[in-house]
A = this chain, B = another copy of it.
Amino acid sequence: MAASIKEVAQRAGVSLGTVSNVLNRPDIVSPETRKRVQEAIEELGFVRNDSARQLRAGRSRTVAIVVLDVSNPFFTDVVRGAESIVEGAGGMVVVCNSGGDAAREHRHLDVLEEQRVQGILVTPVSDGKQPRLDRIVTRGIPVVLVDRGAGLANQCSVAVDDVLGGRIAAEHLAERGHRRIAFVGGPLALRQVTDRRTGAETALAELGLPAPLVVETPMLSVSAGRQAADEIVALPSTRRPTAIFCANDLVALGVLQALTAHGLKVPDDIALVGYDDIEFAAGAAVPLSSVRQPREQLGRTAAQLLLEESTDPEHHEHRHVVFQPELAVRQSSERKRRRVR
């Protein structure tokens, strides 16, 4: 059933090595033999056994990307960016989902290490030391951290300046005349979340404005956003913020939905700014202002760094690429009508 190179050789009346040559260096074998071999391959429905190939050759053409949340459009866009580069180089991308769970992340990394993949792009669940990643790196498998500032120096990283992103969002809202601003997102243990918060707080402090009300959520999801908005709506109107900056767009969409359900108008009653600029942000019924990250670019760059290190590990120097976010201004943070009129 599973035809091997040996049977192909037999059928084509050539040696085993010749078949391998047809497969890997077709140019060094004469046209006629090549043809005969190819016919045999065709007839037998032969398909290379990648395990054997990899065992002998030591290399794999598979790049893995381990994402925090496969349901978050932000990550699927990063994946698409990585795919475009890796497939262009003749490789293949597989996606693994940690779902924010450290145990699952570990399981995935273990299996990927056993598989000796060509390299791993990963947004780790936690920020601390990563003995697993370190071991993988010392084994010679390149690792690139995605959307995570590089703590350690033994791997490349690509990220977006989240502190700047938070700053931009806060300055935008301040410039629109808002004084009472809330920050919604969590868990605060996530680096991305704290960076965005820090940026916003710093900017407000510099402008002499009060620190934002921080509402922590258990995760970055639509439903978490909805619950947070319920809390905010329950505040007495004198303390209720006039603007909310959310740690990502999923949360912002949840907030938007809950505010609307409570009869509050966005942006007239409360302005809203999200983060990531996923497609659903622009498509929301009140189009969402959002801090845009170059999502696909993030994936592309990460993949490029990985391939670079993989191709020439000797001369490779680890790099840390940081992109600048920019604000996409939409209706959810338009100037309040009462001020315009």
Contacts and interface: CB of A to CB of B under 8 A. Distances in A.
A96 interface: yes
Given A283-B257, A284-B284, A113 B71 contact: no
A92 B107 contact: yes
Contact of A77 (B50, B71, B226): B71
Interface string A86-129: 01000011111101000010011011011110000000000000
Contacts of A55: 49, 51-52, 55
A115 B71 contact: no
Of A96, A223, A284, the most chain B CB neighbours within 10 A belong to: A284
A135 interface: yes
A97 B113 contact: no
Contact of A135 (B45, B50, B254): B45
A2 B256 CA distance: 53
A116 B50 CA distance: 8
Copies in the complex: 2
Nearest to A79: B70
A135 B94 CA distance: 22
A45 B140 CA distance: 13
B115 A50 contact: yes
B51 A139 contact: no
Given A1-B140, A285-B284, A51 B115 contact: yes
A47 interface: yes
A95 B114 contact: no
A221 B222 CA distance: 20
Interface in A245-272: 253-254, 256-257, 260
9 closest pairs, A vs B, by CB? A285-B285, A94-B94, A95-B95, A50-B114, A51-B55, A51-B54, A222-B283, A71-B76, A51-B51
